[in-house]
């Protein structure tokens, strides 16, 4: 069947209405689908604002958790007497809270729910620094306290526990000379 025969079949003589209605319906459905897969300028601005607000919320939580973590560590470092089990649990709890927030930030970055500027200028460097310094020192401190109080502690720095943080640094991170980070082989836990 040729195209003209199909058109003649769909549009019998004197029935322009059917042919016009079909094209209108096709155009309407096509327009609807296109509008669902694209955003208007106002919708884009709303999404950008939501992403910024989400980043700001995470930045506030990160700062709060980091302050609590660093305060507990400072208390421990300034302590004159021997470490106690309370010191171990205080550092463990504060560290877990801080690193859980960094993991939540990393998950939000990977899901595309964080403002690009905050991602690149704030969160990726924070996560990179945590993997380089904070996490290893955290486990060293807990191990040291556990040994001093006679506690068996089998915790350690394992990539699987910080996977989303590694993925963020590998995907978005910059090395100190601003070259993209290919892998974090030097940061792999032992």
Distance of CA 156 to the CA centre of its chain: 23
Alpha carbon distance 162, 46 (integer Å):
32
Helix and strand numbers (H, E) in the chain are 8, 0
What are the tens digits of pLDDT across the range 166-179?
A: 999 999 875 544 44
Residue 182 has pLDDT above 50, yes or no: no
Instruction: Kindly state the average pLDDT of the residues 79-92.
Output: 94
Q: How confident is the model at residue 28 (pLDDT cuts 50, 70, 90)?
A: low
Structure tokens at 34: 């296109």
Instruction: Kindly state the average pLDDT of the residues 26-54.
Output: 72
Q: pLDDT higher for 27 or 132?
A: 132
pLDDT at 135: 94
Residue 34 has pLDDT above 70, yes or no: no
Beta bridge partners of 99: none
Give the pTM.
0.71
pLDDT at 124: 93
pLDDT at 82: 92
CA dihedral 116, 118, 119, 121 (to 10 degrees): 110
Eight-state DSSP code of residue 121? I
Alpha carbon distance 105, 107 (integer Å):
5
């Amino acid at each position: 069947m040729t195209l003209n025969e199909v058109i003649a079949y769909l549009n019998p003589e004197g029935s322009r209405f059917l042919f016009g209605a079909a094209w209108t319906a096709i155009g309407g459905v096509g327009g609807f689908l296109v509008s669902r897969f694209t955003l208007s300028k106002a919708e884009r601005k709303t999404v950008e604002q939501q992403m910024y607000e989400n980043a700001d919320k995470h930045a506030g939580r990160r700062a709060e958790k980091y302050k609590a973590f660093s305060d507990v560590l400072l208390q421990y470092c300034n302590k004159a007497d021997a470490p106690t089990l309370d010191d171990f649990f205080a550092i463990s709890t504060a560290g877990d809270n801080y690193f859980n927030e960094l993991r939540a930030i990393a998950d939000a970055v990977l899901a595309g729910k964080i403002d690009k500027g905050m991602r690149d200028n704030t969160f990726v460097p924070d996560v990179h620094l945590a993997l380089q310094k904070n996490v290893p020192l955290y486990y060293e401190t807990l191990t040291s306290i556990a040994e001093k109080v006679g506690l068996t502690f089998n915790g350690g720095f394992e990539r699987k526990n910080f996977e989303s943080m590694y993925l963020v640094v590998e995907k978005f991170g910059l090395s100190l000379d601003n070259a993209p980070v290919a892998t974090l082989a030097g940061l792999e836990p032992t």
